[in-house]
């Protein structure tokens, strides 16, 4: 009996230490959410900005005290959706190739290759985008895109940046499909493509959707790279894909250094941060929903 | 009879069609993969072509930024690595603890799922939001000022979700039989974790840590408002740990390689474009080195462990 | 080996700091790097030389100049250190107002950014002058614009180069981001209080002078404005305004109108342990020895100015 006590104490110590770590992380996250919400809501509750004017106002002109966030909200969603649209077929296509067609090539060559893209810092993507993508867009569209900066350029750069995220997660998703499914399909005389299309992709669908959402999360939150290529025009609504625009993150980076803490402008910027925070929570919820649905579908 | 004939024919046709479909699909996929590989090669080649010359110039890696002849990046290089080490020192123990809790102890209730959601939230937060939070919480509320510590804490917030996930995965991948054997021998969960699971999972954990280091190394947006963007002036002979010139002082502002690139593109001086590409090359080389190191360490450790 | 010992010490320090986050409540709002450090950096000195550490944050536009000053100042005073960080004018002003740094850099008057109660106790040290002027893409064949023409362009009323005497082609306006000090100075001098209509869209709003230069150089028919020290770049061309060249002499004489002070705000009630260092550093920035560097970096020393400007933009003879 006496021998058991220290063991139990040891167990409690272990529980205490590890539990503390988890609690610490949770505490920091809660503090973050609380602080961003507090600062972001000050705009409406203390400074008295009308939330409707804020979310649907089409002009962000701080020097005239006009804070309409719609141009940035539209910009953020536009680049996110467009970049996902660009990256998706390429990512899923390469994932299928390296999992279904050439697995050993995939593991030995392709995976390290695509992981290189993850390693490139976003500042470097920004510099590349500025010198290469914008020049390219300008050359193609001429006067319609005088600087080349705009939603299209931002989306292209983002597409390259989220490509590795979606690709590696899709590869994992496809690899997780049990081999019996494939064997069953081949045994029925299906071709490889039929197997991929009707069996593998279908059963991996929830995980693939998760991959896509995670890619979108990254695109939505990407900051410096997109800021360097999108043009940064916040004052009114973008009219087309070649029009320079701004995103929530770009507006924050540009504005945060000019705003004095405590001013309406400063709080309005935190409100933009709050939108970003809420959006990432929404993305997580979507992933949970997909996961739950997938679990149900697979029994 | 006739209908059977046509059915046979259509079946034939069908087979031909699905076969050609299969070929076309394979062809398209091959092209896509080829293009992706080409893209990666092109991006890296472009950076190297523009920056390798400068990066290999003698002095670039060892001179301070204000050297007259060859302005270098030694301070930024130091700050990047130092900030990384501080980040790892903070984030590895916390992540290790959190991962062990989630794998071994976590009761199946709302507390656990809330903790999991919190970690997930961290992983999806835009870096600028972390930077904003850091600039208010670490810098102002905790009173650390623009400092390495504030920057490292902001980086920790990125690092923790990545690390927790990889460590969790590594622990779960340890064969069930090892855990059962240890528990059957009367070891507590804690002893099992420390003496059996952790050593067995170590190769995967080390690989995960080094890989995460690569990601932290290139982060800039979260650092601009927490660690600052001005290159520190360091005195490597300094023994006063509280002086802003002491390289080890965690309460001094610092400028990492990635932030330096961002700053030089924003506020260029004469000849800074070359320095930008040179620094980008060095940054890229460091990240590649981390990837390589992660693989090597993982292999080495697992070989040593299996040999024993 | 000693290196490893040091890093272990830092390790312990960082662990302590981690505990501090956990404690949360334990940390008040009182501590700050600037004033924490100096008391300890006095160890080991026995001369009457200047001792202490100060922090300086804020505007990035003249940060390289301040860094040069810091380097020379620290060479002359080895026991002094000046920690410089960026953040922008807004950050610099709010941090000096709340006392978390000793010097807050700004390229606009604090009156334009801070509330009256925050201005209390702030001292305005104008350390040098920055002149700004319009630049265009090198392909634009206009060399001079009147103030009225500039105003028309930046209000979106003049949209083609042929309207101001150049070859026909769309004028592409590149702006600095809202809140930028450079933009505030330019608009105050050129727009005369008028604001562009909501429908007017520049082709880019960029957040730094360096990017402005790059974008103007790369965009045919573009126009923007930068400080003098950015004008010597390939692919861009500086314009004269009302026939006056954007030069140091013309700013000093008051002929060239687009310029602003670079401010280093300090606090009247600064802690005694750092006040001497702060004062000496600002005196060094204004010294004759440093004036050559100021000119070298493209700024204009205070000493030579024949005119002065107040916070409301009124210009008078000095």
Task: Give every CB contact of residue C7 below 8 A, 6+ residues apart in sequence.
Answer: B85, B248
Indicate which CATH number applies to the domain containing A263: 1.10.3720.10
C-alpha–C-alpha distance, residues B52 and B49, integer Å: 6
Q: Which DSSP string corresponds to chain C?
A: -HHHHHHHHHHHHHHHHHHHHHH-TT--S---HHHHTHHHHTTT--SSS--EEEEEEE-STTHHHHHHHHHHHHHH-TTEEEEEEEE-HHHHHHHHHTTSSSEEEESS-GGGTS-HHHHTTEEEEEEEEEEEEEEEETT----EE-HHHHHHHHTTS--BGGGGTS-S-B-EEEEEPTT-HHHHHHHHHHTTT----TT---SEEESSHHHHHHHHHHSTTEEEEEEGGG-S-TTEEEPEETTB---HHHHHHT-S--EEEEEEEEETT--HHHHHHHHHHHHHHHSHHHHHHHHHTT-EEGGG-SEEE-TT--EEE-
In a domain, A14, yes or no: no
Q: What residues in B contact C45, CB-CB < 8 Å?
A: none
Confidence at B80, pLDDT banded by 50, 70, 90:
very high
Pick among A26, A63, A147 to test the C interface (most C CBs inside 10 A): A147
Phi, psi of C233 (to 5 degrees): -125, 155
Position C32 scores a pLDDT of 38
Considering only the beta carbons, identify the residue of B143, B228, B250 that sits closest to C31: B143
* C26 at interface of A, judged by CB pairs closer than 8 A: no
Q: Which DSSP string corresponds to B227-246?
A: T-SSPP---TT---TTSTT-
Question: Based on the domain organization, do B143 and B278 belong to the same domain?
Answer: yes
Question: Does residue C13 carry a pLDDT above 70?
Answer: no
Q: What residues in B contact A273, CB-CB < 8 Å?
A: 128-129, 132
* B43 at interface of A, judged by CB pairs closer than 8 A: yes
Give A 203-222 residues with CB within 8 A of chain B. 214, 217, 220-222
* C155 at interface of A, judged by CB pairs closer than 8 A: no
At which of B36, B56, B76 does a domain end?
B56
Q: What is the SS3 assignment for A61?
A: strand
* A263 at interface of C, judged by CB pairs closer than 8 A: yes
In a domain, A179, yes or no: yes
In sign, the C-alpha dihedral spanning B87, B93, B94, B95 is: positive
Question: Does residue C177 carry a pLDDT above 80?
Answer: yes
pLDDT of B260-283, one tens digit each? Answer: 888 887 776 667 788 888 998 998
Range in A128-132, B274-278, C82-86 with the lowest mean pLDDT = C82-86
Out of 3.30.1490.20, 3.40.50.1820, 3.30.720.110, 3.40.190.10, which CATH number does the structure's domain C131-253 have?
Answer: 3.40.190.10
Position C152 scores a pLDDT of 93
Inter-chain residue contact B125 with A228, CB threshold 8 Å: no
pLDDT of B39-67, one tens digit each? Answer: 999 999 999 999 888 888 888 888 888 77
Position C9 scores a pLDDT of 41
Question: Does residue A91 carry a pLDDT above 90?
Answer: yes
Position A2 scores a pLDDT of 47
Q: What is the SS3 assignment for B1?
A: coil
Question: Does residue C23 carry a pLDDT above 80?
Answer: no
Q: Say how many CB pairs under 8 Å bridge A and B.
A: 239
Give B 51-90 residues with CB within 8 A of chain A. none
Inter-chain residue contact C84 with B230, CB threshold 8 Å: yes
Output the CA–CA distances (angstroms, integers) from residue B281 to B46, B231, B286, B292, C161, in the order listed: 10, 19, 9, 16, 41
Inter-chain residue contact B90 with C14, CB threshold 8 Å: yes
Shortest distance between the Cα of C145 and any Cα of chain A, in A, equals 22
Of C257, C245, C259, C293, residue with least CA distance to C71: C293
Inter-chain residue contact B97 with A120, CB threshold 8 Å: no
Name the residue with higher pLDDT: A213 or B9.
A213
Mean pLDDT value across residues B124-136: 90
Give C 91-110 residues with CB within 8 A of chain A. 91, 93-94, 97-98
Mean pLDDT value across residues C254-278: 89
Question: Based on the domain organization, do B241 and B122 belong to the same domain?
Answer: yes
Range in A2-11, B165-174, B216-225, C265-274 with the lowest mean pLDDT = A2-11
Cα A88 to the chain's mean position, in Å? 13
8 Å CB contact between A170 and A211: yes
* C81 at interface of A, judged by CB pairs closer than 8 A: no
Q: What residues in A contact C174, CB-CB < 8 Å?
A: 147
**Ranges A241-245, C54-58, C262-266, most confident:** C262-266
Block residue for tokens 């250190």: C81
Same topology for domains C12-130+260-317 and C131-253, yes or no? Answer: yes
Inter-chain residue contact C21 with A24, CB threshold 8 Å: yes
8 Å CB contact between B36 and A163: yes
pLDDT of A246-293, one tens digit each? Answer: 999 999 888 887 788 888 888 999 999 999 999 999 999 998 898 887
Block residue for tokens 């649907």: A56
Shortest distance between the Cα of A185 and any Cα of chain B, in A, equals 14
Pick among B240, B259, B271 to test the C interface (most C CBs inside 10 A): B240
Number of domains in chain B: 2
Task: Give every CB contact of residue C295 below 8 A, 6+ residues apart in sequence.
Answer: C248, C301
Position C39 scores a pLDDT of 39
Confidence at C193, pLDDT banded by 50, 70, 90:
confident
Block residue for tokens 């360097």: A228
Number of domains in chain A: 1
Question: Based on the domain organization, do B226 and B271 belong to the same domain?
Answer: yes
Question: Does residue B215 carry a pLDDT above 90?
Answer: no
Considering only the beta carbons, identify the residue of A58, A135, A244 that sits closest to C204: A244
Mean pLDDT value across residues B182-201: 84
Q: What residues in B contact A14, CB-CB < 8 Å?
A: 100, 104-105, 188-190, 193
Question: Does residue B95 carry a pLDDT above 60?
Answer: yes
Of C153, C199, C197, residue with least CA distance to C175: C153
Pick among A258, A267, A269 to test the C interface (most C CBs inside 10 A): A258
Question: Does residue C208 carry a pLDDT above 90?
Answer: no
* C174 at interface of A, judged by CB pairs closer than 8 A: yes
Question: Based on the domain organization, do B73 and B130 belong to the same domain?
Answer: yes
Question: Based on the domain organization, do B243 and B273 belong to the same domain?
Answer: yes
Q: What residues in A contact B142, CB-CB < 8 Å?
A: none
pLDDT of A39-65, one tens digit each? Answer: 999 999 988 888 898 999 888 888 888
CATH code given to domain C12-130+260-317: 3.40.190.10
Considering only the beta carbons, identify the residue of C68, C85, C210 that sits closest to B266: C210
Shortest distance between the Cα of B18 and any Cα of chain A, in A, equals 7
Delimit the domains of chain C by residue range.
12-130+260-317, 131-253
In a domain, A221, yes or no: yes
Position C138 scores a pLDDT of 92
Inter-chain residue contact B233 with C208, CB threshold 8 Å: no
Question: Based on the domain organization, do B276 and B262 belong to the same domain?
Answer: yes
In a domain, A45, yes or no: no
Considering only the beta carbons, identify the residue of C57, C61, C71 that sits closest to B233: C71
Pick among B143, B151, B227, B231 to test the C interface (most C CBs inside 10 A): B143
8 Å CB contact between B125 and A275: no
Position A41 scores a pLDDT of 93
Confidence at A215, pLDDT banded by 50, 70, 90:
very high
Considering only the beta carbons, identify the residue of C90, C114, C204 that sits closest to A233: C204
Q: What is the mean pLDDT of chain B?
A: 85
In a domain, A19, yes or no: no
Inter-chain residue contact A121 with B291, CB threshold 8 Å: no
Give A 48-77 residues with CB within 8 A of chain C. 58-64
Pick among C90, C114, C168, C171 to test the A interface (most A CBs inside 10 A): C90
**Ranges A248-257, C17-26, C82-91, most confident:** A248-257
Position A4 scores a pLDDT of 54
Question: Based on the domain organization, do B188 and B252 belong to the same domain?
Answer: yes
Q: What is the mean pLDDT of chain A?
A: 88
Domain with A76 in it: 55-298
Q: What residues in C contact B248, CB-CB < 8 Å?
A: 6-7, 9-10
Domain with B292 in it: 59-306
Inter-chain residue contact C177 with A262, CB threshold 8 Å: no
Question: Does residue C6 carry a pLDDT above 80?
Answer: no
pLDDT of A132-179, one tens digit each? Answer: 898 889 888 887 888 888 899 999 999 999 999 899 999 999 999 998
Of B231, B266, B283, residue with least CA distance to B252: B231
Q: What residues in C contact B224, CB-CB < 8 Å?
A: 86-87
Position C130 scores a pLDDT of 92
Question: Based on the domain organization, do B116 and B3 belong to the same domain?
Answer: no
Question: Does residue B241 carry a pLDDT above 60?
Answer: yes
* A83 at interface of C, judged by CB pairs closer than 8 A: no
**Ranges A186-190, B30-34, C227-231, most confident:** B30-34
From A287, which residue of chain B is nearest by alpha-carbon distance?
B120
């Amino acid at each position: 009996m006496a021998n058991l006590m220290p063991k139990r104490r040891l167990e409690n110590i272990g529980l205490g230490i590890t539990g503390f770590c988890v609690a610490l992380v949770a505490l920091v996250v809660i503090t973050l959410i609380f602080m961003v919400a507090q600062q972001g809501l000050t705009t409406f509750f203390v400074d008295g900005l009308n939330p409707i004017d804020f979310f649907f106002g089409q002009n962000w002109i701080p020097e005239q005290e006009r804070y309409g966030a719609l141009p940035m909200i539209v910009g953020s969603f536009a680049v996110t959706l467009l970049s996902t649209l660009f990256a998706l077929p390429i990512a899923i296509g390469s994932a299928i190739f390296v999992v279904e067609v050439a697995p050993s090539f995939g593991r030995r060559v392709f995976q390290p290759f695509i992981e290189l893209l993850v390693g490139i810092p976003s500042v470097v993507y920004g510099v590349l985008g500025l010198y290469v993508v914008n020049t390219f867009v300008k050359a193609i569209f001429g006067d319609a895109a005088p600087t080349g900066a705009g939603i299209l350029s931002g989306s292209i750069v983002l597409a390259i940046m989220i490509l590795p995220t979606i690709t590696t997660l899709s590869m994992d998703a496809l690899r997780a499909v049990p081999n019996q499914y494939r064997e069953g399909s081949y045994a029925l005389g299906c071709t490889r493509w039929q197997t991929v299309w009707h069996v593998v992709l279908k059963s991996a669908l929830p995980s693939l959707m998760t991959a896509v959402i995670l890619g979108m999360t990254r695109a939505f939150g990407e900051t410096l790279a997109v800021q360097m290529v999108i043009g940064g025009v916040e004052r009114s609504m973008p009219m087309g894909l070649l029009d320079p625009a701004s995103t929530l993150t770009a507006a924050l980076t540009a504005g945060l250094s000019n705003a004095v803490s405590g001013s309406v402008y400063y709080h309005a910027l935190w409100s933009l941060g709050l939108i970003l925070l809420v959006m990432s929570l929404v993305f997580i919820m979507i992933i949970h929903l997909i996961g739950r649905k997938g679990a149900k579908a697979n029994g | 009879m006739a209908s059977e004939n046509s059915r046979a024919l259509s079946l034939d046709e069908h087979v031909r069609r699905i076969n050609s479909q299969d070929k076309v699909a394979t062809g398209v996929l091959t092209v896509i993969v080829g293009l992706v590989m080409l893209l990666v090669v092109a991006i890296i080649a472009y950076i190297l072509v523009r920056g390798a010359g400068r990066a290999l110039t003698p002095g670039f890696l060892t001179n301070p930024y204000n050297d007259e002849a060859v302005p270098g990046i030694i301070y930024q290089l130091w700050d990047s690595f130092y900030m990384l080490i501080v980040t790892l020192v903070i984030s590895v123990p916390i992540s290790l603890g959190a991962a062990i809790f989630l794998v071994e102890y976590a009761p199946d209730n709302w507390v656990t799922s809330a903790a999991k959601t919190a970690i997930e939230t961290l992983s999806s937060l835009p870096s600028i939001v972390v930077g904003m939070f850091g600039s208010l919480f670490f810098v102002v509320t905790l009173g650390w000022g623009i400092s390495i510590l504030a920057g490292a804490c902001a980086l920790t917030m990125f690092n923790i979700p990545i690390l927790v996930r990889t460590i969790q995965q590594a622990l779960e991948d340890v064969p069930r039989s090892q855990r059962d054997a240890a528990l059957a021998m009367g070891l507590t969960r804690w002893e099992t974790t420390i003496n059996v699971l952790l050593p067995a999972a170590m190769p995967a954990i080390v690989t995960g840590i080094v890989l995460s280091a690569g990601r932290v190394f290139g982060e800039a947006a979260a650092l601009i408002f927490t660690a600052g963007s001005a290159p520190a002036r360091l005195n490597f002979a300094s023994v006063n740990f509280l002086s802003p010139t002491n390289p080890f002082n965690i309460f001094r502002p610092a400028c990492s390689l990635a932030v330096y690139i961002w700053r030089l593109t924003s506020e260029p001086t004469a000849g800074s474009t070359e320095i930008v590409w040179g620094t980008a090359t060095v940054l890229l080389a460091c990240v590649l080195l981390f990837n390589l190191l992660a693989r090597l360490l993982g292999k080495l450790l697992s070989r040593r462990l299996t040999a024993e | 080996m000693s290196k490893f010992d040091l890093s272990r010490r830092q390790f312990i320090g960082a662990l302590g700091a981690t505990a501090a986050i956990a404690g949360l409540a334990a940390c008040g709002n009182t501590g700050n790097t600037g004033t924490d450090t100096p008391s300890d950096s006095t160890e080991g000195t026995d001369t009457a030389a200047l001792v202490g550490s100060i922090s300086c944050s804020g505007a990035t536009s003249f940060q390289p100049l301040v860094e040069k000053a810091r380097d020379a100042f620290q060479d002359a005073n080895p026991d002094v250190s000046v920690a410089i960080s960026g953040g922008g004018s807004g950050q610099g002003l709010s941090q000096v107002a709340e006392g978390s740094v000793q010097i807050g850099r700004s390229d606009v008057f604090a009156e334009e950014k801070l509330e009256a109660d925050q201005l209390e106790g702030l001292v305005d040290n104008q350390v040098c002058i920055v002149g700004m002027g319009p630049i265009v893409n090198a392909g634009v064949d206009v060399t001079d614009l009147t103030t009225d023409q500039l105003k028309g362009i930046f209000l979106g009323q003049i949209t083609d180069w042929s309207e101001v005497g150049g070859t026909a082609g769309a004028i592409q306006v590149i702006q600095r981001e809202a809140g930028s000090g450079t933009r505030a100075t330019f608009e105050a001098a050129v727009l005369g209080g008028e604001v562009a209509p909501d429908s007017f869209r520049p082709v880019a709003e960029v957040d730094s002078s360096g990017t402005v230069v790059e974008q103007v150089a790369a965009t045919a028919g573009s126009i923007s404005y930068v400080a003098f020290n950015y004008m010597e770049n390939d692919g861009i061309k500086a314009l004269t305004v009302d026939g006056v060249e954007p030069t140091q002499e013309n700013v000093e004489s008051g002929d060239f109108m687009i310029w602003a002070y670079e401010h280093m705000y300090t606090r009247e009630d600064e802690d005694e342990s750092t006040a001497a260092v702060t004062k000496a550093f600002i005196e060094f920035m204004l010294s004759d020895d440093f004036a050559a560097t100021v000119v070298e970096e493209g700024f204009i020393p205070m000493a030579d100015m024949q005119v002065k400007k107040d916070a409301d933009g009124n210009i008078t003879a000095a």
